[in-house]
Amino acid sequence: MGVLIPKLHSLHISFPLVHSSEHHFKSIQKSIHFATKKMKQQFTCAALFSITFSLFALFSSYAQETKSETIQSTSKIQLKPFDGIIVAGYIDKGAFLNFTGPNISFTHKSSKIILGMLPSLRYKEDHGVFKNSPVTPNLGVGLTYCYKKIAIQVPLYYNAKTATANGRWNLGIGIGMRLK
């Protein structure tokens, strides 16, 4: 069936008829599904950053001790199992929260460069038919730069091969603070 448009210089155009109530219902259903999906993503990101900033506030009193820090006049390289740095950031359409793990660090005055492993929690919504948990433990590797109590990090995390995608390394960016 179709609606016939009057002749315009011998040109016939027809449009299919659609049941307006059924079409309207489907478009509303799609809109609700899309809005719900967006709200879940926004809630997940908001929850992650709320938790992160709550942790920062909790540990800030520990990190900002009243003792004056002595600035080291010499540079040194150290091997450490834990550095007391917490970082949150963005990677592969999701977020992460990590604590620096075993590492090699180079310290010069108030600056510190760290290359090490990053035990992490990754937050990412899975859009597949069979879904993973939105929060997964993960071990990454990365470079962290600290100046006094502020840390900037460039982590690398590996996503394993799945039935639909090859395994690959993902580069991210994060910001955090030193607790020690």
CA distance 138 to 118: 8
**Residue 35: phi, psi to the nearest 5?**
-65, -40
Per-residue tens of pLDDT for the chain, all 180 residues = 455 555 444 444 444 544 555 665 676 667 666 656 665 665 565 556 566 655 555 555 444 444 444 444 578 888 888 888 999 999 988 999 998 899 999 999 999 999 999 999 999 888 878 788 899 999 999 999 999 999 999 999 998 888 788 899 999 999 999 987
CA distance 106 to 85: 15
CA distance 115 to 145: 9
Structure tokens at 51: 């938790």
**8 Å CB contact between 118 and 140:** yes
Q: Rounded to two decimals, what is the model's pTM?
A: 0.57
